[in-house]
Amino acid sequence: MGLNIFGPGIVIQGGGINVFQLVQTFTLNYLVVAGGGGGGSATTNNTGAGGGGAGGVLSGTISNVLAGASYAIIVGSGGAQYSKGTTSSITISGSTSNAIGGGYGGGYYTSPNYVGGTGGSGGGGAYSTPVGGSGTPGQGNNGGAGNNVGNGFGGGGGGAGGVGGTGSSPAGNVGGIGTATAVITTSLSVTLGIGQYVTATNTLYFGGGGGGGSSCTAVGGLGGYGGGGAGGGSPNGSTASAGGRYTGGGGGGGYYYSGVGGAGGSGVVIVSYAAPVVSGTGGTVSSYTLCGTAYVAHVFTASGTLSITGPVPVAPTSVEYILVAGGASGARAPNVAASGGGAGGVVTGTVTVSAGTKYCVVIGAGGAAYFAPLDGGGNNGSSSTAFTKIALGGGTGAFYNPSQAYVGASSGGSGGGGAWNSPTVVGAATQPGSASGGLGNAGGQGNSTCAGGGGGGAGGVGGNAPSTTVGGNGGAGYTWFDGNTYAGGGGGGVQGPARSSGGTGNPSGSGGASVSTAQYYGGNGAQATGGGGGGTAAVGYGSTPNYPSGAGGGGVFVLRYPNSYALATTTTGTSVNVINSSGYIYYVFTQSGSITF
């Protein structure tokens, strides 16, 4: 089913454009990193504590996000020694994505002893409690186990991209690797001091696990890529390191000589979208280009609000269009059947447009109906113009009056049908061969005994009158992207009990046919379709028809472009319909006017 070109939407009366709130949506990319867990502590000789687990990491894309709205951003903090990191989140359209804080590292106190904590990624186990904590599926990984044989050491905290290290070496185990991201560029991350850029891999990481603390004879474990803190260790009694700021990295596990575990790194939330679809505020706003596409990024290192202010007023650079001329009226004969009028010509295409340029539109009228006592072949449709293209008006049908000379069918955008006295003489289609190109077809042939041919349509030739009692159908119309069918031919009249039909121009006019002693008018072509009018019917010689032929339908101009672009700045004309449907903005002109983007 096509768009209703007369509504819904906004009909502009008297020129200009009314206030029209376009519902704008866009696609949002996001990275949500929770705070890392703190490392465990060790206070007993020759033992090491577990590294803190990384904060959970979520990333993805959300479609159909509404512009003109605000969205809550929560940024989690890193946990202190034996403390879990806190959650980071983003709430879009009522749905919240929560990244879970990293689990704390296990430790060895005289009392109590801590196992590795659960979280986005789990904390590493310690000497006395070697089991690592569990990570959250889809956000992180488990912490590594500690070792409780001989001189104990801590397991590495889990990372967003891998499990924490587990082993039998006296050295503390390494933290799990973080996850790489392409939400922003590495150069921008370095500038803003977020994430950990690793030169060796030329990669940006978030959510590295903290390294485990060592026994008395070895160094602490390294933190995982993504801001994981190193574990404490010998021989110089090094302290555990904190997780990197704005990375969600876990803190390093402590070594008994220096005791305290490192704090977890704070989280971060990054959102980005293609420019210049929308504009917004919140966080640190930066621009970058990735794979040839320009993006805007909002980087939140503290909780805040993402406010999208709506569409950036960017004019389209090209539009698709259909231009339809007025259809011809059907013929009217005094006592014999007359033929159908041809549809208006159709031109379609895509054209480049420029912001600030005024584009004029002329809509051709349909041919006026013939009323008694006026007899003849009808009136041609008028041409429509836009974007330097011309759609030619439809050609009238033929008619015959025994007391007058034969009037042949006219050529036009689509040609009129032939009359029964000279049935093979039909109107030719001039639109396809014109400088503008386009669509149109010839009219159909009449029957040599009292039946008129159908007018040509944009989608097919007019139908031939198949018998003395059946007029020719109008030629088929053309269906455009909006689902509407335009420019069907008018049907031919008949002196008999059957009534011919128009083409598929929503519909175009249908030709009249006599039933019993009644006399019938031709049907009108539908307005704003360019359909041809139907020819009249009569009972036979000597009758005096009282009914008019069918009028041709007026022309129309429709353009469309994606609704990611701005509305036109100005339109003029007595009737302009604006429709937002299925990702496109449509402008429908049923009268002459202009449009400026």
Element (H, E) at 350: strand 346-352
The token pair that represents 252 in the structure block? 């390093």
pLDDT classification of 407: cutoffs 50, 70, 90: confident
Pick the closest to residue 573 from 597, 553, 595, 541 (CA basis). 595
d(CA 131, CA 145): 5
Question: What pLDDT is attached to residue 410?
Answer: 92
Is pLDDT above 70 for 502? no
Average of per-residue pLDDT across 389-416 = 86
CA distances from 314 to 291, 311, 501, 510, 576 (A): 22, 8, 46, 45, 21
Burial of 487 (0-12, 13-18, 19+ CB in 10 A): buried
| Residue 327, amino acid | G
Q: Which of 6-10, 348-352, 371-375, 422-426 is the most confident on average?
A: 348-352
- Range in 107-111, 145-149, 230-234, 264-268 with the lowest mean pLDDT: 107-111
Closest CA to 488 of 469, 499, 472: 472
Decide if 552 contacts 344 (C-beta within 8 A).
Answer: yes
Residues contacting residue 320 through CB under 8 Å, at least 6 positions apart: 348, 349, 350, 481, 559, 560, 561
Task: Tell which residue, 274, 383, 329, has the closest CA to residue 25.
Answer: 274
Count of Cβ atoms closer than 10 Å to residue 368 Cβ: 17
Of 6-10, 26-30, 420-424, the poorest mean pLDDT is in: 6-10
Rounded to 5 degrees, φ, ψ at 273 are: -155, 155
- In this predicted model, what pLDDT tens digit does every residue of 271-303 receive, in sequence order? 998 876 667 889 999 888 877 788 899 999 999
Ramachandran region of residue 193, left (φ > 0), alpha (ψ -120 to 50) or beta?
A: left
Dump pLDDT digits (tens) for 82-105.
899 999 999 987 889 999 999 999
Helix (H, G, I), strand (E, B) or coil at 188: helix
Residue with tokens 């009268």, as numbered in its chain: 591
Q: Which of 168-182, 324-338, 479-493, 536-550 shows the lowest mean pLDDT across its residues?
A: 536-550
Domain ranges of the chain: 34-312, 324-597
Q: What angle do CA 235, 241, 245 make, to 5 degrees?
A: 160
Distance CA(262)–CA(218), nearest Å, equals 18
In terms of C-beta density within 10 A (0-12 exposed, 13-18 middle, 19 or more buried), how is residue 45 classed? exposed
- Please write the tens of the pLDDT for every residue from 186-230: 888 898 999 999 999 889 999 999 988 887 667 888 999 999 999
Alpha helices in 257-396 (DSSP H): none
Distance CA 234, CA 337 (A): 110
Instruction: At 156, give phi and psi (nearest 5°).
Output: -75, 145
Is residue 14 scored above 50 in pLDDT?
no
CA–CA gap between residue 501 and residue 507 (Å, rounded):
9
Burial of 224 (0-12, 13-18, 19+ CB in 10 A): buried
- Mean pLDDT confidence for 1-6: 54
Q: CB–CB of 566/355 below 8 Å?
A: no
CA distance 384 to 447: 33
* Structure tokens belonging to residue 360: 């004029």
From 557, 397, 398, 394, select the one nearest 488 (Cα to Cα). 394
Residues 122-134, mean pLDDT to the nearest whole number: 87
Residue 525 in tokens = 């072509």
Pairing of β 478-479 and β 485-486? antiparallel
- Quote the pTM value: 0.56
More confident residue, 216 or 565: 565
Angle of CA points 305, 310, 314, to nearest 5°: 140
Residue 445 in tokens: 């042939």
Q: Looking at the predicted structure, is the pLDDT value of residue 237 above 80?
A: no
Helix, strand counts (H, E) of the chain: 1, 28
